[in-house]
Amino acid sequence: DIQMTQSPSSLSASVGDRVTITCRASQSISNYLNWYQQKPGKAPKVLIYAASSLQSGVPSRFSGSGSGTDFTLTISSLQPEDFATFYCQQTYSTSVTFGGGTKVEMK
């Protein structure tokens, strides 16, 4: 199986901060990388698909980049509603895998 490693596992940030989360695949996955946001008690929500495509309705402060094995999710200016846990997901393999998650907390 393709392993997805996210870093950091958690971070503290303030409203207005620029936040960057990374996701590394154990082998090349081209651009088959999606990002999700999950708030406590809720189902996840897709933010970015195909590494850099913004899902409809998602604010433009979210962006994604990368290809191959290294990917990044960036929040350009953190808003109060953005405090949540973020997951990457690879769909290159028929055995889909998620990263371990990154919890973004208020500083």
Partner 1 sequence: EVQLVESGGGLVKPGGSLRLSCAASGFTFSTYSMNWVRQAPGKGLEWVSSISTSSTYIYYADSVKGRFIISRDNAKNSLFLQMSSLRAEDTAVYYCARVFRVETAPIDYWGQGTLVTVSS
Which of 17, 98 has the CB closer to partner 1?
98
> What whole-number distance in Å separates Cα of residue 64 and Cα of residue 35?
8
Which of 20, 100 has the CB closer to partner 1?
100
DSSP secondary structure letter of residue 82: G
Whether the bond between 8 and the residue before it is cis, its omega within 30 degrees of 0, is: yes
Which of 14, 56 has the CB closer to partner 1?
56
Backbone angles phi, psi at 33, to 5 degrees: -135, 125
Please list the residues that pair with 104 across neighbouring strands. 11
> What whole-number distance in Å separates Cα of residue 68 and Cα of residue 66?
7
| Nearest in space to 45 (alpha carbons), one of 78, 79, 82 | 82
Which of 57, 80 has the CB closer to partner 1?
57
Binding region for partner 1 (CB under 8 A)? 1, 31-34, 36, 38, 43-46, 49-51, 53, 55, 87, 89, 91, 94-101
